[in-house]
Structure 1
């Protein structure tokens, strides 16, 4: 037992006073008996004994009464179990990622957590609140009530280490009580175990009643004719999906297709035919779980002709003129000494077809062209030196050519998932007429293989800077060295290498991946383009590249949807944005991460636990009660004890 005011205990010396008074009242007197009162002797002795007992009882009660009163004023208490952390600051970490849209027994997990905070956080409690996207330092529940009620779901995943670092930066070396509210989907942390003992951690993992979920993961063009696109919609299911899923396709606000999807093995690719014209809309499904991944926005621009220059000897370039036909391409064949360097910047693809020596000026120009989003195709010549080829490739990738080997090689493997062939094959096939070469350069270094030889070296490889692509053949493909020109692969390979994906195909970007877009547009010095739709707009980072502009989106926009790239009031291009599907699998709950910490089932439990373990047990009131009882006892003794 401890005392808040131990100095008051000095007043216990006052207990000497009733003792002295009592001793004074118990002084001995000499007794003289008179003749006429002797018969009262026996009665007198009995009365005197009773009086002594009464005085001793009164002394005891008065001493105890006075002692209890003095001790009560000293305010005794028992020390709290966790008194060393009684000065800790409260920090609440609230997960508002998309997985918190899941429904528990009291509605959506995030909304329930917010309601719990509003109802059970003491009004006088000071705390800091950190979410995936917002922070509120040193506040109270009334001050942030509206902010909590308007808290939106965030595409930013729950990154506990990042949030703990943010807290430590703001509250460096400050003892803290950390209260984490999360569904623990994809939760990871290396910093949690490093928290010192002065920062107790409480966690509450609200549970979703239904962990089944269906998401639309991607939309792509699987094929096309003169009048229609074949669209493939990839749907992914998590958990036991037994019911059919309704799916609809909208162009703007107009419904253009509808179907019902039956998921087999929780995966399905659904095909739609869309007219070959501008499309600016979305595909959506209906399920009873998460909603953020039920809609996939995408845009398709009306096909434009791609600009292609093939640099090499005109007779060798002839096979490419049959692929790059006038109805889809603006094709130019040029000898090396007649190349118009000023025209390169306006192209979508440049093919170097068996040039013996690549000039440094052309290398420099093509490097800038590649960095602005252009595609470069290198077909080496058997007369090329490895040194000249490597001097060129060093500007694009780490691939290196070795010596030319006079050894026949057979192509045996196709990378069906590579963007060049994603829309070419309906399914993987082994029974295929693969091309072969008579001589090929040896290669080393890392590059994505598109077509491989039997020895796993590449016949065709590629690399990208996210906006431009470099395609490299390891062997000449003229008819004297290879039968590739007679292969069924020749047309889709060169056709797709010349396509600028930012002019044709689907425009659908993932928010937060900082992707780039290059547009053919001329801007004055002070002009900027904006990305806008009906509800929001933002200005992307932009870099002027001669007659082009490169846009970088960073973490914007905040919400998915269909947008337009605007120059003043002119629409340059329609594009779409979607959130990454990182929160779709609700079964990936990593609650083992918190095993060493204190689990609670509500907000109220946290504050109750902290209060009970850090509040001292004050017992002065019991001494007041004892004082009153001894006072009552004294009155009873005075009245009933004779």
Structure 2
């Protein structure tokens, strides 16, 4: 037998007190006067023997009662050698899933609150001297440290929701890494691992087995009352064009994971000064795409959010977005040997376009800075430097419009076209070059020509260059000639690249004088606006371009409310990109619209939570146990919290069996026995 609090055993010395009391108390005598002493000897002998027995029993009851009380405070126990708790060090690892799916409500409130209460109860009931490791979805090195009872309770109390999600395999791997890091000696330690989670079904299954046979695992699944959820999956604009006074069509995709059709679900859109609510229906276990239109009244950065009414899981009920309404679009026209004036004339029709013209043979990288569209106007030769400038500009999201001259250098042009995933340029052909049709299915054509018509008076070209489709070509045709070959095609490796497989010089026809040419130039310019994505997802690896002049080496900050941090930044072709992929404090990020600042404001970045856990789909008990078994665990004890069952009583966190309650009961029994002896045993 061992004692949890052996210092209380010194209290046995106090047992001398009742012994002394009894010794002195029993020596008191009283004088009685009798008229006759005939029977006094017989009565005296009978009284002395009875009193002595009574006094001894009372003394024994008091001594046993006090001894039982001392032992109850000392908390004796017998170590259980079968579970190896004779090992001196007891370590309890508690992993608490704090992802947003834990917002789902159980009978007693949100699952995260129930998990925290369960974890605190486990810590409080653990044997004295137990060390704890408390982990969350952060999985940081700080969480791999051993802490005492007080620090563990404080850590659990401060746990809040995190945008990070972890699969069961990631949790098992983290626990194995933690065990290795703290260098646990299996011969001297007994490790028990508790996992409190709803066990969402996501993440790939790993097959590698770990050395987990010497550890006990206690997965505790928290089960919500309902698995239904309404959430906003994504938001996007139908067109990349955003001008003052023009209508924007905002599309919203909603999901309903319940088994019932939902009627009149409220959706609210707030962007800048625009605020509108509407109602829509969402089918059971299905999605609904809806849209609305509005217009911006001024230039500048706009931010807002789309919200759906839901009372169950709320982290995915709001989608934040931001964008810039520009005052101008910047166009660079590079004139070659066979350039024509029509290009500049068409662009000058609208004040929205700021046009810069240069000779293609005299450009530098600075000419491409902050440009949305670059037009090659009648160039025959392309130097390797120009090809590199153009491809790099396109890779950074810039748009290209390519109009070759009358005698193009096919080798140089095909080098450029190959990098842009466009068909290569072949020999000149003159048959079947009349324009046959337009691709009305493509938004480029569909949004500028309201209805399909076979009676359009389409222009023609005298000759064209035969497109040669290669294995790497990935393009779409906008204008088709009668010979079935494309006259105008485009690809979109990063930015959009348009290729006209003829020349706009008058020697090749009257295409450049037709309204279709003007329409195509303006449409290319309109669609070329290099805007940033309207939002990024926290946890995804993605970059965000910052189109601003003279940033230089200035430090860029992202800030919202009290949160202010410096994102990772890179520069390519004069464009600065910021990224959150190297940010090591994702748990501190929250969804919202963040201000991008250096010495001045550079824009707005919207962040949203990942929708990975929006569909509430959970692993079963058998699946959870199988995952542990497949990874090498042999001792797994499963429990669940569903509002009816609580794991606190059933959770077999092994610890030595203590007997303090038994001794407390025995103390009460001896106290009552002493009272009965004194009260009812008359002399």
TM-score normalised by L of structure 2: 0.65
Aligned positions of 1:105-144 closer than 5 A = 105-121=107-123, 122-123=125-126, 124=128, 125-135=130-140, 136=143, 137-144=145-152
- Map of 1:599 onto structure 2: 638
Q: Are the counterparts in 2 of residues 560 and 579 from structure 1 also a CA contact under 8 Å? A: yes
- Map of 2:327 onto structure 1: 304
Offset of 1:402 from its aligned partner? 7.0
CA deviations 1:267-286 (Å, max 9, x no partner) are 13130414332433222222
| CA distance in structure 1 between the partners assigned to 2:510 and 2:197 by the alignment | 60
- Map of 1:229 onto structure 2: 247
- Map of 2:231 onto structure 1: 215
2:524 aligns with one of 490, 494, 501:
494
Q: Are the counterparts in 1 of residues 422 and 491 from structure 2 also a CA contact under 8 Å? A: no
| CA distance in structure 2 between the partners assigned to 1:524 and 1:79 by the alignment | 68
Offset of 1:112 from its aligned partner? 1.3
Offset of 1:379 from its aligned partner? 4.8
Q: Are the counterparts in 2 of residues 202 and 606 from structure 1 also a CA contact under 8 Å? A: no
Gaps of 5+ in 2: 3-76, 629-636, 667-683
Offset of 1:350 from its aligned partner? 1.2
- Map of 1:275 onto structure 2: 296
Q: CA RMSD in A?
A: 4.7
Kindly tell me: are residues 285 and 333 of structure 1, through their superposed partners in 2, closer, same or farther at Cα, counting changes over 3 Å?
A: same
CA deviations 1:520-556 (Å, max 9, x no partner) are 221465x323222323221222346686543334346
Q: Are the counterparts in 2 of residues 421 and 492 from structure 1 also a CA contact under 8 Å? A: no
- Map of 2:499 onto structure 1: 473
| CA distance in structure 1 between the partners assigned to 2:454 and 2:539 by the alignment | 41
SS in 1 for 2:290: strand
1:444 and 2:446 matched: no
Higher mean displacement: 422-431 or 382-391: 422-431
Gaps of 5+ in 1: 5-74, 626-642
- Map of 1:44 onto structure 2: none
| CA distance in structure 2 between the partners assigned to 1:422 and 1:581 by the alignment | 34
1:511 and 2:538 matched: yes
SS in 2 for 1:362: helix
| CA distance in structure 1 between the partners assigned to 2:425 and 2:653 by the alignment | 74
Kindly tell me: are residues 256 and 540 of structure 1, through their superposed partners in 2, closer, same or farther at Cα, counting changes over 3 Å?
A: same
- Map of 1:580 onto structure 2: 610
Q: Are the counterparts in 2 of residues 178 and 199 from structure 1 also a CA contact under 8 Å? A: yes
SS in 2 for 1:194: coil
1:542 and 2:558 matched: no
- Map of 2:309 onto structure 1: 286
SS in 2 for 1:143: helix
Aligned positions of 1:136-155 closer than 5 A = 136=143, 137-155=145-163
| CA distance in structure 2 between the partners assigned to 1:560 and 1:102 by the alignment | 19
- Map of 2:591 onto structure 1: 560
SS in 2 for 1:171: helix
1:330 and 2:354 matched: yes
Aligned positions of 1:526-541 closer than 5 A = 527-541=554-568
SS in 2 for 1:463: coil
Q: Are the counterparts in 1 of residues 233 and 255 from structure 2 also a CA contact under 8 Å? A: no
1:166 and 2:174 matched: yes
Kindly tell me: are residues 342 and 143 of structure 1, through their superposed partners in 2, closer, same or farther at Cα, counting changes over 3 Å?
A: closer
Offset of 1:329 from its aligned partner? 0.9
Q: Are the counterparts in 1 of residues 546 and 578 from structure 2 also a CA contact under 8 Å? A: yes
- Map of 2:550 onto structure 1: 522
SS in 2 for 1:444: coil
Q: Are the counterparts in 2 of residues 533 and 564 from structure 1 also a CA contact under 8 Å? A: yes
| CA distance in structure 2 between the partners assigned to 1:476 and 1:531 by the alignment | 48
| CA distance in structure 2 between the partners assigned to 1:342 and 1:424 by the alignment | 34
Q: Are the counterparts in 2 of residues 186 and 590 from structure 1 also a CA contact under 8 Å? A: no
SS in 2 for 1:520: coil
Offset of 1:571 from its aligned partner? 2.2
CA deviations 1:35-65 (Å, max 9, x no partner) are xxxxxxxxxxxxxxxxxxxxxxxxxxxxxxx
SS in 2 for 1:388: helix
1:355 aligns with one of 375, 379, 383:
379
